Every structure is written in structure tokens, then in C-alpha cells.
Amino acid sequence: MGITMAQAMHSFMSNSAEMCYFAADLTDGSFDITPCEFSKKLFDTDKNPISQLAVSDKIHPADLALVSAFCKDLLSGEEQSCLDEHYNIDFRINMSENAEPDWRWATMTTLIAKTEDGRHVSHTVCHIRLMNSSELLTKTIVDSFTNDKHPSVFASNVQKLLNDKSGRQLAFMQFDIEKFKLINAKYGEDKGTEILNFITNGLYTVCTDEQVHLRLSADVFMIAFLFNTAADINRLIGLIEERLGRYEDIEYRFVFGVHIVSDKTLPLRKMGDRAAMARQSIKGNALNNVGYYSDNQENKLISRKYIEDRMNYALEHGEFVMFLQPKCNISTGGIIGAEALARWIHPEKGMISPMEFIPVFEQNGFIIKLDEYIWEQACKAIRGWIDSGIEPVPISVNISRVHLTNDSFIDSLDRLVEKYNIPKKFIETEITETTENAGTEEMIKKLKARGYMLLMDDFGSGYSSLNMLKSTPFDVIKIDRDFFSEFMLSDRGKKIISHTISMSKDIGLDLVAEGVETKEQAEFLHSCGCDVAQGFYYSKPVPLSDFDKLHTT
Ligand code: C2E
Ligand code: MG
Ligand code: MG
């Protein structure tokens, strides 16, 4: 079949000096080249079969990987979801007959015939010829202006996808090479560049005309495409991995982020950003290299960047405010203390929850500054009460784990207590005891030795364990809100709460239950022997002036 087809082609076409034909019959693996001037010049032979090596030697090293990936795919005869009925690929071939190479741009057009079921490639006919001068000129212009280099072309092509009426969905996908810096370091930057060029060019063979691609930066690529089902997305990812995931003998791993566009009115930049967020979200994940965007991610990421840009300004401009949440005696309902909780009151965004900013500050270290600021506000409040003749109640302040690496925080606390000249018993300290900071026990003991009351925060939250109670320097345990509310749901859970309370009392620890929201919960705790509760049932955290009203009435 192969020979017949090649001969047929040959008889149709003139035996030009600058073109030749291949035919491959993938049903029996035969591969023939039409003997002609050009093929002889190209491959030093007009005999069939020609060796792969002879072909490879003639192709420019920078284009070789692309051509071989393409041929490998073609010859495998596997289902080619993205392969059109005909296909064009450009590469440089060496037309020199001596040692000095003469690289000339050639273009290869491939026609494929599929098996009857349309799933496999059965035959291909390839036609290689040198580009003529006008094609070369066009290529130069196109190269500088194709969608992989030119965002505006990308944008106008995406616009077509947005206007698509076929009912398919639009996705933005970004991918990059994991640990690309290591590849550069190991194989050299030139190799790194070759790999990136290979991928850039390779995207032309992987993507259809409708799959619009753009090289965003060194190793970040983006594709916008229409799809019907998740399988279409996976297929495209599979194809990219298979064809472009290896260059020569260098293997690397891609990380993909996908944003399925639900709001087509979003600016394109935003659609791309969301794909980027999805990609970032799974960086370093050994099991999964494809992340999907979800709204949550954006909220998290936006606030993180925003928070970091604004935190110093916010502290200097009094945007952080201490709120106080009462701790109440369950039997009398009277306020016997308070916890100081940070609030960020933003002039435009309103109140930002500590759940959003505390984890960020714990990571970047800013928590040290914020904590000290809140501690100072607590000391000030106590001083204020004393000065205005109000009976002070102790305020507990949160000590982030970040402080526990260095005992200088105890000096800071001492300085504040001295500065405001208040009895130490009015400043209590809350520390979340976890297995990770078990090694910081020394620090906690020092804090106690300096006269501070210690409260173990979030007891039962999963970070703490009964084991910690064995030789703990803590005075009070605060039963975690989530632990408490979850265990309250079953009789078994209630028993555990009840026993935890009696056990703690037995070993001489006091208890505060956090997150008490209902009368029933308060009554249950009381029946178990817990005397102090903190929670919305009594009061939400409030500004100092409101606390004063609660406290004095
Ligand atoms: P935490 O120290 O365990 O504080 C108790 C949290 O439970 C507070 O959340 C409080 O508003 C909330 N809460 C109290 N009662 C109820 C209730 O009945 N129902 C519900 N649903 N929630 C209740 P908040 O203020 O959002 O603070 C969250 C966490 O952020 C705190 O947990 C604490 O770990 C941290 N945090 C807050 N302010 C500071 C601070 O100034 N420094 C440090 N290091 N951490 C802080
Ligand atoms: Mg606390
Ligand atoms: Mg707590």
C-alpha cells in the first residue's frame, strides 16, 4: 500500500529539486520515500528504507525533538484527538553537502487517513519541501506575531472562543515546569532555553487552531480552549505531558492550573490569574499536578497579598483594635475576666477577621509586632480601669507560638506591665499547646516563673493531647470551641467532655469552656463542674467601651 501510494504521489507531482514525499502505512509499519533528487540530497540515498539516523542528522538539533515527537505520535497510530486531517510542521534541514552546515527552512505537510472507525491513523503521506522566499518572509512576520508571543493576538483569538455558540465551556489553563531552575542548574541555561523553545514550538503540534496558546513568561504557558467534558481537559493535559514532557533524555514534570470560566464578563487577565492561582495552589504536591480554581482560592490569595502590603500601615494608623470577650461565671452570669482578641477595622473593607490575617502574620513574623500591640492595649485598659475606680478583671492575651522560639517576649510583657504599673495577676497568657511546641516547654515554664497565669488555648482541638497534661505548667485549660460543639452532639461526646472536666479539676487545673452559644450548653457545663464560660451566649467580643458598659452594669 505504502509503495503504491508513494508511486501514485510521485507520478502526480513533478520531480522538483526541492520536494519529496514519504508514505507510511501504519497498518503494516512500512515506510517509503519517493526516490527523487531532493530525497537523495537530503538523506544521501534514494534507496528505501532510509534509516532514522540519516533523517535525524539532517534536522536542526533545535527542531529535532519537535519533529521526532510528532513522528513518534504519527507512527504509533494511536488516537490523535488533536491531529487534523492534514498537518504542517516547519523545521530546519541541512542542505550542505560538506562539513559546513547550510540550514534551510523546510515545511512538511502530512495528510492522514484514519481507520474505518475513525479512531486510528492508518496511513500518512508526508510532503517535505524547502520554503520559498515569500513563505520565509511570511514565517518571519508570523513568528514575531503569533499567539505564543503576542498577547494581543492571544486576546483576539480568545475573544472568538468567548463568542462561540457551540455550547462548549471555556477553560484557561496555565502550566509550568516544576523546578525548572534545577534543570537550568543541572544541564545549563542553553539546554533550558532549548527545552522551553521545544515546548513553545511543540504547542503548535499539540493544540488545534481553536486551542489558543501563549507563552507568558520563561517557563509559564497558557492555553485557552473549549471543552465538553472533564475528559477533554484531561486528554489535552495528557497530550502535553506525553509530547512535551521530555526533551532528549531530560524528563521533567509539568504543573497545571485550570480555571473553568463561569463568568465570561471577567477581564481576560483575571481569567488567566485564576488559572495561575490554581497552579500555585498545588505547587509542591507530589501526588497531584493538576489544580482547579475555586472562588475560595481567590479570596485567600487576594487577602494575603493585600494583608502583607497593608499590615505596617494598618498598625501605624490604628486599624488594629483590641476587642474584649467576657469570661463569665456560669452560675452567676457575672463577668470575671476577658480575652483580648485582635480586630482589623479597615476604613473601606470594614472588619477583617483574625482568621484571615493571623495565619499570614504567623508565617511572615508580623505577629510579634501585632501581639505586642494588643498586649499593650490590654495593659492600658487595666490601667484605665484602675484610674477610673473600676474593679479590674484579668485580661488574657494570646501568645502566638512564633514567640516561643525566643524568651525576649517575656521581657516585652514585663516592660509593658511595668510601664502601665499594673499588678501581674491582671495579665494572663493564652498559648495553644501543640505537639510541635512541646520543645518550648522551657519557655512556658519561664513565663510562669515570672508570675504570669498560663491558659492552654484550644484544648481538644486535635493539636493538644492528654499527654500534655501530665507535667504541664499550665493553670487553666480552655476547651476548644469546635471540640466542644462537636462533642456536645452525642451522648458519648458529652461523656468525654464531662470526664475531661472532672479529670482536669482532679489534677488541679481550672477550666474555661470556649464558644458557649446556648443556655443548654452552659447548664450542661455547669452540671459537669465547669465554672467559667466564654461565648456568644454571654457576649461576642466587643470594643473596650462596650465591654466597660457590660462590666459596670
Ligand atoms: P482563640 O484564641 O481561640 O479565640 C477564640 C475565638 O472564638 C475568637 O475568634 C472568638 O471570637 C471566637 N468565639 C468566642 N465565642 C464564640 C462563640 O460562641 N461562637 C463562635 N462561633 N465563636 C466564638 P476570633 O476573634 O475570630 O479569633 C480567632 C483566633 O485568632 C483566636 O482563637 C486566636 O487564636 C487568634 N487571635 C485573635 N486575636 C489574636 C491576637 O491578638 N494574637 C494572636 N496571637 N492570636 C489572636
Ligand atoms: Mg485565645
Ligand atoms: Mg481558643
Tens-digit pLDDT profile for residues 242-290: 999 999 999 999 999 999 998 888 888 888 888 988 888 887 777 778 9
**255 near 176, Cβ under 8 Å?**
yes
* pLDDT at residue 541 is higher than 80: yes
Specify the pLDDT at position 463.
58
pLDDT score of 114: 73
Can you name the residues that pair with 19 across neighbouring β-strands? 129
Q: How far is residue 118's CA from residue 391's CA, in Å, rounded to a whole number?
A: 87
Task: Give yes or no for residue 17 having a pLDDT over 60.
Answer: no
What superfamily in CATH does domain 145-293 come from?
Reverse transcriptase/Diguanylate cyclase domain (3.30.70.270)
For atom 5 of ligand 1, which residue has the closest CA?
514
Our mutation pick for probing the ligand 1 site, out of 398, 454, 525, counting the most ligand atoms within 8 A of Cβ, is 398
Which residue lies with its CA nearest to atom 27 of ligand 1? 354
If you measure from the C-alpha of residue 541 to the centroid of ligand 1, how many angstroms do you get, rounded to a whole number? Answer: 9
Grid coordinates 495561575 are at which residue? 276
pLDDT at residue 215, as a whole number: 86
Torsion angle of the four alpha carbons 472, 473, 477, 483, in this order, in degrees rounded to the nearest 10 = -40
Residues present in the chain in total: 553
Q: What is the dihedral of CA 97, 101, 104, 108, to 10 degrees?
A: 70
Predicted pLDDT of residue 36:
73
Pocket lining for ligand 1, CB < 6 angstroms? 325, 341-342, 353-355, 358, 367, 371, 374, 398, 400, 430, 457-458, 481, 514-517, 534-536, 541
Please tell me the residue having the least CA distance from ligand 1 atom 12.
Answer: 515
Task: Please determine, looking at this structure, whether the domain spanning 1-132 carries the CATH number 3.30.450.20.
Answer: yes
C-alpha cell of residue 426 = 491582671
The ligand 1 atom at the shortest distance from the C-alpha of residue 353 is: 26
Lowest mean pLDDT among 138-142, 383-387, 454-458, 500-504: 138-142
Which ligand 1 atom sits nearest the alpha carbon of residue 402?
A: 44
Q: Ligand 1: which atom is nearest the Cα of residue 399?
A: 44
Ligand nearest to the CA of 515: 1
* pLDDT for res 300: 60
For the stretch 344-354, pLDDT in tens is 998 877 788 88
Q: For ligand 3, a single-atom ion, which residues have Cβ within 5 Å?
A: 457-458, 514
| CB 314, CB 320: distance < 8 Å | yes
Distances (CA, A) of 175 to 58, 289, 304: 32, 9, 23
What number does the ligand 1 atom closest to the CA of 322 have?
Answer: 41
Which is higher by pLDDT, 146 or 489?
Answer: 489
* Angstrom distance (rounded) from CA 2 to CA 33: 9
Output the residue whose Cα is nearest ligand 1's atom 7. 515
Q: How confident is the model at residue 141 (pLDDT cuts 50, 70, 90)?
A: low
**What's the rounded Cα separation, in Å, for the pair 437 and 159?**
54
Please tell me the distance between residue 478's alpha carbon and the centre of ligand 3 in angstroms.
7
**Percent of the chain's residues with pLDDT above 90:** 41
pLDDT band of residue 429 (cuts 50, 70, 90) is very high
Of 470 and 329, the one with more pLDDT: 329
pLDDT band at 464 (very low <50, low <70, confident <90, very high): low
Q: Would you say residue 34 has pLDDT above 90?
A: no
Segment 12-20 shows an average pLDDT of 54
Of 256, 265, 166, the C-alpha closest to 210 is 166
Q: How far is the CA of 399 from the centre of ligand 3 (A)?
A: 11
Please check the confidence at residue 5 and state whether its pLDDT lies above 60: no
Which ligand lies nearest the alpha carbon of 341?
1
Q: Measured in Å, how far apart are the chain's first and last C-alpha atoms? A: 100
Residue 430 class from Cβ within 10 Å (0-12 exposed, 13-18 middle, 19+ buried)? Answer: buried
Q: Structurally, what CATH architecture does the domain formed by 311-552 represent?
A: Alpha-Beta Barrel (3.20)
Which residue, by CA, sits nearest to atom 3 of ligand 1?
458
Atom of ligand 1 nearest to the CA of 323: 25
Residue 222 to residue 216: CA distance in whole angstroms: 7
The amino acid at residue 359 is: P
Please give the grid coordinates belonging to residue 112: 492522514
Model confidence at 364: pLDDT above 60: yes
Nearest CA to ligand 1 atom 44: 400
C-alpha cell at 97: 553537502
**Rounded-to-integer distance, Cα 196 and Cα 184, Å:** 11
pLDDT of residue 439: 63
State yes or no: pLDDT of 45 exceeds 80: no
Average pLDDT over residues 49-64: 70
Q: Could you tell me what percent of the chain has a pLDDT over 70?
A: 81
What pLDDT is recorded for position 107?
A: 84
The C-alpha atoms of residue 345 and residue 320 are separated, in whole angstroms, by 6
> Does residue 183 have a pLDDT over 60?
yes
- Confidence grade of residue 182 (pLDDT, cut at 50, 70, 90): confident
Distance (Å, rounded) from C-alpha 410 to C-alpha 418? 12
Most confident range, picked from 68-72, 400-404, 492-496, 546-550: 546-550
pLDDT of 144 higher than 80: no
| Residues 429, 469 contacting (CB under 8 angstroms) | no
Extended strands (E) in 149-284: 169-177, 212-217, 220-227, 246-247, 250-251, 254-260
pLDDT, position 103: 86
To test ligand 1's pocket by mutation, which of 358, 362, 363 has the most ligand atoms within 8 angstroms of CB? 358
Q: Is the Cβ–Cβ distance between 107 and 90 less than 8 Å?
A: yes
The listed range with the strongest mean pLDDT (188-202, 305-319, 320-334) is 320-334
Q: For residue 341, which atom of ligand 1 is closest to its CA?
A: 38
Residue type (1 letter), 544: L
Grid cell at residue 21: 514525499
Q: What separation in Å is there between the alpha carbon of 145 and the centre of ligand 1?
A: 55
Phi and psi, residue 24, nearest 5°: -125, 130
* Least reliable range by pLDDT among 116-125, 248-257, 413-422: 116-125
For residue 462, name the pLDDT band (cuts at 50, 70, 90): low
Ligand 1 mean position, distance from CA 510 (Å)? 20
Q: What are phi and psi of 455, to 5 degrees?
A: -115, 130
Write down the pLDDT at residue 82.
Answer: 36
Break the chain into its structural domains and give their ranges.
Answer: 1-132, 145-293, 311-552
> 460, 500 in Cβ contact below 8 A?
yes
CA of 478 to the centre of ligand 2 (A): 8
SS3 percent helix, strand, coil of the chain, rounded to 5, is: 45, 25, 30
Expressed in angstroms and rounded, the spacing between residue 341 Cα and the centre of ligand 1 is 6
Task: Report the C-alpha gap between 159 and 268 in whole angstroms.
Answer: 9
Which of 416, 481, 485, 516 for mutating ligand 1's site (highest number of atoms within 8 Å of CB)?
Answer: 481
Q: What is the DSSP string of 395-448?
A: EEEE--GGGGG-THHHHHHHHHHHHTT--GGGEEEEEE--SGGGGGHHHHHHHH
What's the CA-to-centroid distance between 457 and ligand 2, angstroms?
5
Query: By mean pLDDT, which of 2-16, 77-91, 157-171 is the weakest?
Result: 2-16
Of the listed ligands, the closest to the CA of 355 is 1
The mean pLDDT of 113-121, rounded to a whole number, is: 71
Q: Which of the residues are catalytic?
A: 514
Give the closest residue (by CA) to ligand 1 atom 8. Answer: 341
**Are the beta carbons of 497 and 522 closer than 8 angstroms?**
no
Instruction: Find the mean pLDDT for residues 67-95.
Output: 65
